[in-house]
Amino acid sequence: MFQHIDADILEIIRYTVKDRGLWRVSKEEGFDLIREMYEKISSVYGFPTPALVEDSREVYWVTPERIGLPKVSLVSSLHEYRHHMQKHQKQHYSDIEVDARGWSISAFHYALPEDFDSAWRRGLIWFLPQYGSE
Amino acid sequence: MPRGEEGPGWSEYVLPALRPMNAIQAEREEGFIIERAVGNFLLEHAPFYRQGDITDIVIEEVPMGEGFVNYHAVVAFTKKEGDQI
* Residue in A with minimal Cα distance to B9: A97
**Of B14, B16, B19, nearest to B66 (Cα)?**
B19
Q: What's the pLDDT score for residue A134?
A: 38
Structural domain spans, chain A: 7-121
Q: Point out the residue among A59, A63, A73 whose CB comes nearest to the CB of B83.
A: A73
CB burial of A32-71 (b: ≥16 within 10 Å; e: otherwise) equals ebbbbbbebbbeeeebebbebeebebbbbbbeebbbbbee
What averages of pLDDT result for each successive group of 10 residues across chain B (85 residues)?
82 95 91 96 95 96 94 94 85
**Of A1, A6, A3, nearest to A85 (Cα)?**
A6
The 10s digit of each residue's pLDDT in A97-134 is 999 999 999 999 999 999 999 999 888 998 865 555 43
* Residue in B with minimal Cα distance to A87: B60
> CB of B27 within 8 Å of any CB in chain A?
no
CB atoms within 10 A of CB B21: 10
Look at B58 and A59 and tell me if their CB atoms are within 8 Å. yes
- Mutation target to probe the B interface, by most B beta carbons within 10 A, among A61, A86, A112 is A61
**Of A125, A83, A84, nearest to A105 (Cα)?**
A125
The DSSP secondary structure of B48-81, one letter per residue, reads: TS-GGGEEEEEEEEEEEETTEEEEEEEEEE----
Is A77 within 8 Å of A13 (Cβ atoms)? no
- DSSP strand pairing (B54-65 vs A59-61): parallel
* Residue in B with minimal Cα distance to A128: B78
Structural domain spans, chain B: 3-77
The 10s digit of each residue's pLDDT in A49-82 is 999 999 999 999 999 999 999 999 999 999 999 9
Task: Please give the Cα distance from A67 to A13 (Å, whole number).
Answer: 18
Task: Please give the Cα distance from B13 to A46 (Å, whole number).
Answer: 31
Give the distance from residue B23's alpha carbon to the nearest chain A alpha carbon, in angstroms.
Answer: 12
The 10s digit of each residue's pLDDT in A17-26 is 999 999 999 9
Task: Return the DSSP state at B28.
Answer: H
Q: What's the pLDDT score for residue A131?
A: 55
Burial class of residue A4 (count of CB atoms within 10 Å of its CB; 0-12, 13-18, 19+): exposed
The 10s digit of each residue's pLDDT in A3-58 is 899 999 999 999 999 999 999 999 999 999 999 999 999 999 999 999 999 999 99
Interface of A with B (CB under 8 A): 23, 57-63, 71, 73-76, 79-80, 83, 95-98, 100, 108, 115, 119, 123-127
Q: Which helix (H) or strand (E) holds A53?
A: strand A51-54
Using a CB-CB cut-off of 8 Å, the residues of chain B touching A58 are 55-57
Cα–Cα distances in angstroms (integers) from residue A111 to residues A24, A30, A86, B11, in the given order: 18, 18, 21, 30
Q: What is the ipTM of this complex?
A: 0.93
pTM of the complete model: 0.94
Beta-carbon contacts of B12 under 8 Å, excluding residues fewer than 6 positions away, are B3, B4, B5, B6, B72, B73, B74, B75
Give the distance from residue A58's alpha carbon to the nearest chain B alpha carbon, in angstroms.
Answer: 5
- DSSP strand pairing (B10-18 vs A59-61): unpaired
